[in-house]
Structure 1
Amino acid sequence: MRLSRRTSVAAAIAGAASIALLASGCSTGGGDDASGEAGEDVTLTVTTFGTFGYDDLYKEYEELNPGVTIKATNIDTGGNARTDAFTKIAAGSGLSDIVAIEEGWLGAIMDVSDQFVDLTEYGIADRKGDWVEWKYDQATDPEGRVIGYGTDIGPSGICYNADAFAAAGLPTDRDEVATLLDGDWENYFDVGRQYQAATGKAWMDHSGFVWNAMVNQLPEGYYTSDGELNVEGNTELQGRFELLGSAVGDGLSAAQTAWDWNGGKSFLDGTFATLVCPGWMLGVAKGQIEAGGGDADNGWDFADVFPGGPTNWGGAFLSIPETSQHKEAAAKLADWLTQPEQQVKQSAAAGNFPSTLNAQETLAAEATPNEFFNDAPTGAILAERAVGIKAQYKGADDSVIQENVFGPPLQKLDRGEATTQQAWDEAISLLNSLVKQ
């Protein structure tokens, strides 16, 4: 049974406060009275997470709108941003004028959607045709209120280290790699076994991100489309877990720490050869490679392929809390940041993929080489990977299940501290203790 709004709100706030999550049309743009309802100078606070690529856009907006000052906060991961948001919702204060919300915890936000401004009051409905249809629908609550301007979506390809592939005698040309990896997850793991046999090294960074991708690819993931929990007794889900467990048992996982990768050094020393890469992960990987001492000459490339076919992982929204004292000015900024022109610039800065159709078409047409990934036309590749995607329904505790229910058992599986069955059983036990049934 779906939790009532009141029960879900209490559960979401309590969960966020107690669980440290790990963890990604008609424009009102610049100019006319963007500084606020009465034209006064205004400081707008914005909270994002991960790699958003907004720094230059903030400066541009301030230049276009004298009197507007943007004070930005960026939280390291989407999971920690979730904890921050729900802690402040529980306190009744502290949220920024604009808050970035991640797809994985949008379901929990929907249970407190009345804490956020209905953006139809600021003209977002006039822009409905700007976005892929399901992106706008995701931000619409059961009462028909729209609470978020769509930023990016997460079509996925495979990042691979061409030097590592060459050492294993595998093809390195990205088109040939796409052909090599075309197929299902069994094929991806079988190629990984060939790589591991040739080099003695791991094929993928860790099982957690691969598991997330495998789950996202299903028509229904941790929840059914009508909001019912969908984990325990789900034979299709358990079958994918066993397939992953077999690959881990064969030495394909490097057991990396999510979001760290040994300070980025593991991208450069051959620790692993492939990484599942939704668009926003390109920015994460770039940051890690640079943190590890690497530069554009790093060996990594990006292939137009994904095991099992198209899938969406992630994406975000810009929302305005009811507690904001500058709702109109915040709406103008959020609207401007999510216009197609700005989404193209955001993609160039952060590697993520736009949710607006015009921005997607621009990236596909320009096919700009990405120097950091061996001049791969990452935007054009992601446009291809976006074809046919429809985002999976995410329930209220979806991100908790991914990170806190399956995260610890998968880490044990990676480290050889649990069998596949033991890891699955632990996940079910954690599900029953952390998630309201």
Structure 2
Amino acid sequence: MKLSRRTTAATAAALAAIALGAAGCSASGSAAGTADDPITLTVTTFGTMGLDDLYTEYESENPGIKIEATNIDTGGNAKTDWQTKQAAGAGLPDVQAVEEGWLSAVMQVSDQFTDLSDYGAKDISDQWVDWKVKQATDSNGRIIGYGTDIGPEGLCYNSTLFAEAGLPTDRDEVAALFGGDDATWADYFALGEKYHAATGKAWYDQSGFIWNAMVNQQPEGYYTSDGELNIEDNSDLKELWGELAGGAAAGLSSGQTQWDWGKGKAFTDGSFATFVCPGWMLGVVKGQVEAAGGDATTGWDFANVFPGGPANWGGTFLTVPTQSKHPKEAAALAEWLTEAKQQAAAFTVAGTFPSNIEAQSDPAVTGTNDLATFFNDAPLGTILAERSKGVVAQYKGPDDSVIQEQVFGPSALSLDSGTDGQAAWDNAIGLLDQLVVNK
């Protein structure tokens, strides 16, 4: 048998595990801590990452470890929490989840994070898609994060609402309706106008998420690949903003508050018919529908199509701040949580599509699970694998999340309130100058 790099690494890891087991160590390779006097590892995550049950499993397999987990509601609030504690020089957890959108800010102080290469990261780096590893590698070649999920985007749609408007409901027919591999945002907004004319209802929940998707699928977004701001004279972004403004003016936006949706009611009362869905958002949709008393019969489905082509929104890394008093044990936990089996398990709970290559073909990802059942038995993992093809890791600058949330966030909201597209763009540029350029 020809041994690949992964096979060789796996063999070495297995031999190491046997040796550690003979020495009375835990499965994670941590000799410190006992069942009577365990080490406590703190973990901070955000959103819906699907890790809760895995903590319990890890504690069961490693009786010398106790995990105290904190989950923050959104990535933006998690960034603020991290920045506050980072600046104070205290309070960071042993394992810190970092979102792709603010990874560049983390990289500005990468020396404040443990180089996971010291704990074997380079030996196992080929288990993730290569661009995920590159994102987590600083300018000095230090790997500071293990990849959890990536965020390839497909289109969620409500088949019940589509049927009421006389549109096809079969997901393959829906994908073809939008243009399949050649789907454009112009097609998306044109279909929205037909839907609105037939029903009088909105097409999507609000303009902010649409704009985020548009920006993320560009070769270069808010920053050029060499780190320069790329907004004010960017004709591509201006053109997309014009399309977005036109959609809002045509009544296609429901004007929902981001991350609110009236405790899920907007997902069940017909407020909108389509929703942009990176993998991790699938769990959010399910949670919102169920919070409002809905279930699989509410009609949400998932199609293998996305306007404008491949796009990636989000994705997370598990890091170990140098503030950790137990970096070896924390690194072992972060490694275990991002292994194939665990990433596959997280997907079944939250729809977080694995960055771990082996996990992408795991039956738990490609087969039927509760999340897939909710989306009309859609082959979620297979669709997301298809949607991940062609995705290019976009460079995210240090203020990327600030620009998305605090610069274009208010301006996208103003579009939904009737503000003219040019006026909303000018307002965004004013906020950019205030919050980023001249901060």
Residue deviations 1:191-242 (CA, integer Å, cap 9, x gap):
1111000000000000000000000111000000000000111111111001
Provide TM-score, normalisation by structure 2. 0.91
Question: Contact between 2:32 and 2:39, CA under 8 Å: does it hold in 1?
Answer: no
Deviation at 1:39, TM superposition (A): 4.3
* Counterparts in 2 of 1:150 and 1:117: CA distance versus 1, 3 Å: same
Partner in structure 1 of residue 374 of structure 2: 372
Deviation at 1:296, TM superposition (A): 2.4
Residue deviations 1:37-94 (CA, integer Å, cap 9, x gap):
5345201100000001011100110110112111000000000000000000000000
Alignment of 1:86-165 (within 5 A): 86-165=83-162
Cα distance in structure 2, aligned partners of 1:290 and 1:231: 39
Structure 2 counterpart of 1:436, one-letter code = V
Cα distance in structure 2, aligned partners of 1:80 and 1:200: 35
SS at structure 2 position matched to 1:297: helix
Deviation at 1:35, TM superposition (A): 7.6
Cα distance in structure 2, aligned partners of 1:218 and 1:35: 42
Of 226-235 and 27-36, the range deviating more from structure 2: 27-36
Residue deviations 1:73-116 (CA, integer Å, cap 9, x gap):
00000000000000000000000000000000001000011110
2:391 maps to 1:389? yes
Deviation at 1:348, TM superposition (A): 0.5
Partner in structure 2 of residue 190 of structure 1: 190
Cα distance in structure 1, aligned partners of 2:377 and 2:153: 18
Structure 1 counterpart of 2:82, one-letter code = A
Of 367-376 and 238-247, the range deviating more from structure 2: 367-376
Unaligned runs of 5+ residues in structure 1 are 1-24
Structure 2 counterpart of 1:404, one-letter code = Q
Structure 2 counterpart of 1:420, one-letter code = G
Deviation at 1:367, TM superposition (A): 3.3
Correspondent of 2:406 among 389, 404, 407: 404
* Counterparts in 2 of 1:365 and 1:202: CA distance versus 1, 3 Å: closer
Provide TM-score, normalisation by structure 1. 0.92
Unaligned runs of 5+ residues in structure 2 are 1-8
- What is the RMSD of the two structures over their aligned residues, measured on CA atoms? 1.6
Correspondent of 2:71 among 57, 71, 74: 74
Of 369-378 and 273-282, the range deviating more from structure 2: 369-378
Partner in structure 1 of residue 264 of structure 2: 264
Runs ≥4 residues deviating over 4 A: 25-31
Question: Contact between 2:158 and 2:274, CA under 8 Å: does it hold in 1?
Answer: yes
* Counterparts in 2 of 1:365 and 1:94: CA distance versus 1, 3 Å: closer
2:217 maps to 1:223? no
SS at structure 1 position matched to 2:437: coil
Of 38-47 and 363-372, the range deviating more from structure 2: 363-372
Correspondent of 2:82 among 85, 103, 107: 85
Question: Contact between 1:35 and 1:68, CA under 8 Å: does it hold in 2?
Answer: no
Cα distance in structure 1, aligned partners of 2:363 and 2:158: 24
Structure 2 counterpart of 1:103, one-letter code = E
Alignment of 1:35-46 (within 5 A): 36=30, 38-40=32-34, 41-46=38-43
Question: Contact between 1:150 and 1:316, CA under 8 Å: does it hold in 2?
Answer: yes
* Counterparts in 2 of 1:113 and 1:365: CA distance versus 1, 3 Å: closer
Cα distance in structure 1, aligned partners of 2:137 and 2:54: 26
Alignment of 1:271-282 (within 5 A): 271-282=271-282
Structure 1 counterpart of 2:112, one-letter code = Q
Question: Contact between 1:37 and 1:328, CA under 8 Å: does it hold in 2?
Answer: no
Deviation at 1:146, TM superposition (A): 0.6
Question: Contact between 1:368 and 1:379, CA under 8 Å: does it hold in 2?
Answer: no
* Counterparts in 2 of 1:78 and 1:363: CA distance versus 1, 3 Å: farther
**Percent of pairs with identical residues:** 61
Partner in structure 2 of residue 211 of structure 1: 211
Cα distance in structure 1, aligned partners of 2:341 and 2:32: 28
Partner in structure 2 of residue 10 of structure 1: none
Structure 2 counterpart of 1:130, one-letter code = Q
Deviation at 1:333, TM superposition (A): 0.5
Structure 2 counterpart of 1:400, one-letter code = V
Structure 2 counterpart of 1:419, one-letter code = D
SS at structure 2 position matched to 1:262: coil
Structure 2 counterpart of 1:399, one-letter code = S
Question: Contact between 1:364 and 1:383, CA under 8 Å: does it hold in 2?
Answer: no
Structure 2 counterpart of 1:312, one-letter code = N
2:316 maps to 1:292? no
Partner in structure 2 of residue 236 of structure 1: 236
Residue-pair matches, total: 412
SS at structure 1 position matched to 2:151: strand
Partner in structure 2 of residue 18 of structure 1: none
* Counterparts in 2 of 1:93 and 1:35: CA distance versus 1, 3 Å: farther
Partner in structure 2 of residue 345 of structure 1: 345
Larger Rg: 2
Partner in structure 2 of residue 6 of structure 1: none
SS at structure 2 position matched to 1:435: helix
Partner in structure 2 of residue 169 of structure 1: 166
Cα distance in structure 1, aligned partners of 2:119 and 2:127: 16
Question: Contact between 1:46 and 1:97, CA under 8 Å: does it hold in 2?
Answer: yes
Residue deviations 1:276-332 (CA, integer Å, cap 9, x gap):
000000011111111111122221000000011111110000000000001000011
Deviation at 1:262, TM superposition (A): 1.1
Question: Contact between 2:365 and 2:380, CA under 8 Å: does it hold in 1?
Answer: no
Question: Contact between 1:298 and 1:372, CA under 8 Å: does it hold in 2?
Answer: no
Deviation at 1:365, TM superposition (A): 7.8
Cα distance in structure 1, aligned partners of 2:227 and 2:387: 27
Question: Contact between 2:347 and 2:365, CA under 8 Å: does it hold in 1?
Answer: no
Structure 2 counterpart of 1:327, one-letter code = P
* Counterparts in 2 of 1:234 and 1:366: CA distance versus 1, 3 Å: closer
